[in-house]
């Protein structure tokens, strides 16, 4: 018990330190709006002894604003002939970044130094987009200007509407998203020169503005309804809801609670540091590929159930469990790893504590279900019971498995009326700004090189070619 409370204290002290220590490194402006942080300098070193030859060498240690120090191995191969081995990149920093910070041990997430809980409570999605892209919260004039720039680009080239006709009606909307976002590069040639800051900005605005239109059209196409064009007097979230749910035959009334929840979902998914899809965007962009192609690559990566596909998987899991009476059996299946069953919406590579986004989402989930009169929704009851049981179970406690953001987002989205196949699409709509901000940061970093990992080769050594008649 004593150990538990002292470790709790350590965690609390760490959290305090993290929140306080938010002063960024000295910065200078690049030609674009991007922020160019000062290159971190080595301030210490790790001494390494190579037991193969007794050789001693040192590896510099670099310090960021907050977070663990990093060992700089950039010269390791050149000087020592060694690669490092880190499948899944659990200990590898792939870049220097000043956009988002996560401390998974204590459940902290900040964008440009602002806590996600504060942004979700006090801000709106457009403001968060500006913050991620430009580094600061906008003043009133900057906000108006930014919103104008985004809404200016909400429409799609009319030819793109015809592109949809080539898909089967039962195509997964994520398949449509990957294709149509990639296809934007075939339509907007005037914003594909990545070396021109103005074109980079226009491409960024176009992507943020057009993804909701593309997503809503994917939905409309799948259900055989006509496309609804954007209405720029509405907010980003309102416009998306209208394009998704309105039909020409009726007036569409926007429920303010639903619009607020939608905006919050967008804020909570806007960026998440160097996750799989963001690293994919950076990797694709490192070759000089155009931004539309890079974001399409990010969408493809997000699709997987271990990443953005998890909210869809949560709903499928809840449907499979069916009722609270079956939870015990399901948890047993998870714990015995039967058929590799996992509790979807639980666990995270980085958070080994409650995902701060999940706390906000949990509250929002209750607000939306109350407003829609779905408080007794059996799915919510099942999810709450599952959460309670899992949080008190030794397996989940010892594995540090807490609910992640996707555990609740699926329930809200279903209550709003989205089919499960659209859940990951909504994640992609929200994350586009994060991908774009990280892509821009990479392109504007003068030390940027093509991403090219190494490997530990375990295949055959060289061998003579085997002619066909000698093969088994």
Catalytic site positions: 348, 406
Interface with ligand ACO includes 310 (CB under 6 A)?
Answer: yes
Contact between 192 and 185 under an 8 Å Cβ cutoff? The reply is yes
Least distance CB 51 / ligand ACO (angstroms): 28
Rg (CA), the chain: 24
Cβ burial, residue 1 (10 Å; 0-12/13-18/19+): exposed
Interface with ligand ACO includes 405 (CB under 6 A)?
Answer: yes
Q: What are the phi and psi torsion angles at 176 (to 5°)? A: -65, -40
User: Which own/partner contact pairs does 463-466 have at CB distance under 8 Å and 24+ positions apart?
Assistant: none
Interface with ligand ACO includes 127 (CB under 6 A)?
Answer: no
Interface with ligand ACO includes 406 (CB under 6 A)?
Answer: yes
* Binding test (CB under 6 A) with ligand ACO, winner from 133, 181, 243, 344: 344
According to DSSP, residue 470 is labeled G
SS3 of residue 153 by DSSP: coil
Give the integer Cα–Cα distance in Å for 241 and 235.
10
Interface with ligand ACO includes 240 (CB under 6 A)?
Answer: no
* Binding test (CB under 6 A) with ligand ACO, winner from 156, 215, 321, 343: 343
Nearest to 114 by CA among 105, 125, 101: 101
Least distance CB 454 / ligand ACO (angstroms): 21
Interface with ligand ACO includes 334 (CB under 6 A)?
Answer: yes
Q: Is 81 left (phi over 0), alpha (psi -120 to 50) or beta?
A: left
If the CB atoms of residues 231 and 349 are measured against ligand ACO, the closer one turns out to be: 349
Give the integer Cα–Cα distance in Å for 425 and 176.
10
If the CB atoms of residues 346 and 439 are measured against ligand ACO, the closer one turns out to be: 346
Contact between 18 and 103 under an 8 Å Cβ cutoff? The reply is yes
Interface with ligand ACO includes 386 (CB under 6 A)?
Answer: no
Residue numbers 347-376 binding ligand ACO by CB under 6 A: 347-349
* Binding test (CB under 6 A) with ligand ACO, winner from 146, 188, 346, 418: 346
Angle at 236 between CA 233 and CA 238, to 5 degrees: 75
Residue numbers 290-309 binding ligand ACO by CB under 6 A: 306-308
Any idea which residue has 């149509």 for tokens? 180
| DSSP β-ladder status, 70-71 and 55-62 | antiparallel
Least distance CB 316 / ligand ACO (angstroms): 12
Give the integer Cα–Cα distance in Å for 408 and 449.
38
Interface with ligand ACO includes 113 (CB under 6 A)?
Answer: no
If the CB atoms of residues 404 and 432 are measured against ligand ACO, the closer one turns out to be: 404
Interface with ligand ACO includes 102 (CB under 6 A)?
Answer: no
Interface with ligand ACO includes 91 (CB under 6 A)?
Answer: no
Residue nearest ligand ACO (C-beta atom): 347
Interface with ligand ACO includes 428 (CB under 6 A)?
Answer: no
If the CB atoms of residues 135 and 403 are measured against ligand ACO, the closer one turns out to be: 403
Interface with ligand ACO includes 212 (CB under 6 A)?
Answer: no
Residue numbers at the binding site for ligand ACO (CB under 6 A):
306-308, 310, 334, 342-349, 399, 401, 404-406
């Amino acid at each position: 018990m004593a150990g538990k409370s002292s470790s709790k204290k350590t965690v609390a002290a760490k959290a305090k330190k993290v929140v306080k220590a938010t002063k960024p490194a000295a910065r200078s402006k690049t030609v674009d709006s991007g922020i160019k942080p000062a290159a971190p300098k080595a301030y210490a070193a790790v001494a390494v002894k190579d037991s193969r030859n007794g050789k001693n060498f040192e590896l510099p240690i670099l310090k960021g604003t907050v977070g663990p120090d990093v060992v700089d191995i950039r010269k390791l191969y050149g000087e020592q002939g060694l690669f490092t081995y880190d499948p899944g990149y659990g200990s590898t920093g792939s870049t220097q970044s000043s956009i988002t910070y996560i401390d998974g041990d204590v459940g902290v997430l900040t964008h440009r130094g602002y806590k996600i809980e504060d942004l979700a409570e006090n801000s709106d999605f457009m403001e968060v987009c500006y913050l991620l892209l430009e580094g600061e919260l906008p003043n009133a004039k900057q906000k108006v200007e930014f919103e104008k720039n985004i809404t200016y680009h909400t429409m799609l080239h009319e030819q793109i509407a015809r592109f949809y006709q080539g898909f089967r009606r039962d195509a997964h909307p994520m398949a449509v998203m990957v294709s149509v976002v990639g296809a934007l590069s075939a339509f907007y040639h005037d914003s594909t020169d990545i070396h021109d800051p103005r074109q980079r900005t226009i491409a960024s605005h176009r992507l943020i503005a057009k993804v909701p239109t593309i997503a809503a059209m994917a939905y409309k196409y799948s259900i055989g309804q006509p496309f609804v064009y954007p209405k720029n007097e509405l907010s980003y979230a309102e416009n998306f809801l209208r394009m998704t749910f309105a039909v020409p035959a009726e007036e569409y009334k926007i429920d303010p609670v639903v619009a607020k929840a939608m905006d919050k979902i967008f804020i909570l998914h806007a960026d998440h540091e160097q996750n799989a899809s963001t690293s994919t965007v950076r990797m694709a962009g490192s070759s000089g590929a155009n931004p539309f192609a890079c974001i399409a690559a990010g969408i493809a990566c997000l699709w997987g159930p271990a990443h953005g596909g998890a909210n869809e998987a949560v709903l499928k899991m809840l449907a499979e469990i069916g009722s609270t009476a079956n939870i015990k059996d399901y948890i047993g299946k998870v714990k015995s790893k039967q058929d590799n069953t996992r509790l979807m919406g639980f666990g995270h590579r980085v958070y080994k504590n409650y995902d701060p986004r999940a706390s906000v989402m949990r509250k929002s989930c209750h607000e939306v279900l109350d407003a829609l009169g779905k408080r007794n929704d059996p799915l919510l009851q099942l999810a709450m019971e599952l959460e309670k049981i899992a949080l008190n179970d030794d397996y989940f406690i010892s594995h540090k498995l807490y609910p992640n953001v996707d555990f609740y987002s699926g329930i809200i989205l279903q209550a709003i009326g989205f089919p499960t196949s659209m859940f990951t699409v909504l994640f992609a709509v929200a994350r586009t700004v994060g991908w774009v901000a990280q892509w821009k940061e990479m392109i504007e970093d003068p030390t940027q090189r093509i991403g090219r990992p190494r490997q530990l080769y375990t295949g055959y050594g060289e061998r003579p070619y085997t002619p066909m008649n000698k093969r088994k």
